[in-house]
A and B are shown apart, each in its own frame.
Chain A
Amino acid sequence: MPFFLRRIATLSSSIFAIVTFNFFLFHIIPGDPIRLIARTQRLNTEAIAKLRTSFGLDGSLLSQYFRYLSKLLHGDLGYSFFYKENVSGIVGRALGNTFLLLTASTLIVVTCGIAIGVFAGSRQGKKSDTATVVSSLILWSMPTFWVGMLLVFTFGVWVGGLPISGISTANALYSNWFQYAMDIGQHLILPTVTLAIVDIAFFIIITRTALIEVMSEDYMLTARGKGLSRRTIVWRHGFRNAMLPVLTASALYISALVGGAIQVEVVFSWPGMGLLMYNAVLARDYSVLEASFLLTTVAVLVANFAADMLYRVLDPRVAVSK
């Protein structure tokens, strides 16, 4: 499939551009990380030179760049003096945790958001539709961190019953694998709900609008003329067409997700990429920050690529030109 290959090539070159941009961004911005360390730890010139080498900060910018590329290809993202650990290990764990959180919330957002959007859109103008729109708009206008804090307050102070911080109970001993999973699951609830609550509203509204638009298309009258039931008309003929603009809007959603994840992870101390970046900024941990930026951007690019591919599956009109 040459189209697919072409799209892969575009993706790869975008990733390469991001890698390059990211490298120069971090090597040009003011604030020398070595000086930062030297200030706190009182080092002599020799030690500083050694540090520079170990950071890959010696030599010309261009030679640093090529060294950086070759390390990157070997999966080496550098070393964090803040954590005293290889960045790839730190970022790898954080990425896994964020992935868990985003998967859980995105599953809820996409399935519930779309289902409710279709429900409202196929009842345009009725009371249930108006109620859905109004509550979606209210949810949509709530800032993510505020919702998070509200939930922390509710479940941490008033009601209790749900963990409000971290990914698992500190110092807990688990007798089996299942117990461990249950603990993580419990910790997952509030951050997921927080992240989902605002974004669900977004999906409800765009799905509803897309479906209403589709409902007035000529082929929907054809479907009615065929004697199909309301349900069949909406789901078999309307749904897939309505999903096209929703998918396009999801591309925006993917980028917005990063911001939402940072807020939620900070509020709930969820040890993911968002919290990692937040702490790295506070600690001026450049190597972690650099790697996080890179991975986040690449993740967004890949997700957009996947959305684009899905669009092609759904819409035969833009499908592969031979």
Chain B
Amino acid sequence: MSLLEIRDLHVSYPNRKGEFFAVDGVDLTIEQGEFVGLAGESGCGKTTLALSIPQLLPEHSRIAAGSISFNGVDTTALNEEGLRAIRWKEISVIFQGALNALNPVQTIGSQIQEPIRIHDESVSKKEAQDRTLELLEAVGIPSHRASDFPHQFSGGMRQRVMIAMALSCMPKLVIADEPITALDVMTQAQILDLLRSLCDKYKLSMLLISHDLSVLAQTCDRVAVMYAGKVAEQGPTSRVFGSVGAQHPYTQRLLRAYPNIRHERKFIDGIPGYPPDLSTLQVGCRFADRCDVALSRCATEVPDLIDIGGNQSVACHLVSENQVGVQ
């Protein structure tokens, strides 16, 4: 059994005309101990997908269809009490915009420590304190700073605090939503390395979200690329960034769009145009407007996610036609 199995998930937000789907039929699987990367331009539904796993979406959102099976339990069917029991204990989140994710009037120590005893009453106060200090050391913050407040830390340090906090209950899955976006390039690399090494050390699974594919390429076992609420392509990192290469035109463009965070490239080749406005209904492939190699059917037919072998799948008419040609 996989740790996480998302099937045909549809999540909607209300708009003037009723509702629109920010996540529109997404399948995603995360195995025990696996690192899965989720990429895509901003606004394509990454955060919505991620927050639906522990059901942390705002009240006005709606899970219209699909299931999220975590450790064999469908989180979409749990009540508030059931959800509270798995939040942080099983699934913790490093939130997007984590610089404001810490409570400004509480010490970082108390914030890291807080969930430990909430989820396990048998832990003594002293043990919880000790674990907090250990976690701080593990993320590279001297333990005497436990009594400091968030504003006394730099952005990178606050992100380290957030990581320590995410690990305080040793969850099975850590969701990191753009954990390095707001940081400078040097700090980005350090934080990524830290995340990777800690999750390896504690054998945790991770869903790492970034709009920058090069970040995921270096960190993850598998990547999924989202476009306008749908998965455009997904597969093992070794294939998508290696031997076989990215197949979806969007993934290919995305790969060229960002400088590598470790070796700054000279030319950045952005994708012209903008992601479609999800609130207006569209037929056909949602990337068709911006695609260099669009076929005539792309404008009218929605491409299915097709397995092209090696655990890689792509939702593109061009790719599936070539596949047919090969066979």
State how many angstroms separate the Cβ of B130 from the closest Cβ of chain A.
19
Residues of B contacting A222 with CB < 8 Å?
A: 93, 95, 101-103, 165
Given A226-B114, A227-B87, A316-B104 in contact, is the A218-B97 Cβ separation under 8 Å? yes
A221 on the B face (CB < 8 A):
yes
Residues of B contacting A225 with CB < 8 Å?
A: 54, 56, 87-88, 92-93, 95
Residues of B contacting A224 with CB < 8 Å?
A: 56, 87
Q: Which of A197-231 contact B (CB under 8 A)?
A: 217-219, 221-229
8 CB-based A-B contacts, threshold 8 Å: A218-B101, A222-B101, A224-B87, A227-B84, A227-B88, A227-B89, A227-B115, A232-B118
Residues of A contacting B106 with CB < 8 Å?
A: 237
Q: Which of A288-322 contact B (CB under 8 A)?
A: 314-317
Contacting pair B84 A316 (CB below 8 A): no
Contacting pair A227 B86 (CB below 8 A): yes
With both beta carbons as reference points, the residue of chain A lying nearest to B98 in the complex is identified as A218
Residues of A contacting B54 with CB < 8 Å?
A: 225
- Residue ranges of A at the interface with B (Cβ–Cβ < 8 Å): 217-219, 221-229, 232, 237, 240-241, 314-317
State how many angstroms separate the Cβ of A108 from the closest Cβ of chain B.
26
- Residue ranges of B at the interface with A (Cβ–Cβ < 8 Å): 54, 56, 83-89, 92-93, 95, 97-98, 100-106, 114-115, 118-119, 149, 151, 165
Q: Bound complex: CA of A28 vs CA of B272, how far in Å? A: 75
Q: A237 is contacted by which of B56, B86, B95, B103 (Cβ under 8 Å)? A: B103
Q: B151 is contacted by which of A221, A232, A240, A316 (Cβ under 8 Å)? A: A316
Q: Bound complex: CA of A240 vs CA of B104, how far in Å? A: 10
Contacting pair A316 B105 (CB below 8 A): yes
**Which 7 residue pairs spanning A and B have beta carbons closest together?**
A227-B87, A218-B100, A316-B149, A227-B84, A226-B115, A219-B103, A226-B88
Q: Bound complex: CA of A226 vs CA of B85, how far in Å? A: 9
Q: Bound complex: CA of A225 vs CA of B92, how far in Å? A: 7
Q: Bound complex: CA of A310 vs CA of B98, how far in Å? A: 28
Residues of B contacting A218 with CB < 8 Å?
A: 95, 97-98, 100-101
With both beta carbons as reference points, the residue of chain A lying nearest to B99 in the complex is identified as A218
Residues of A contacting B119 with CB < 8 Å?
A: 227
Residues of A contacting B56 with CB < 8 Å?
A: 221, 224-225
Q: A317 is contacted by which of B88, B89, B101, B151 (Cβ under 8 Å)? A: B151
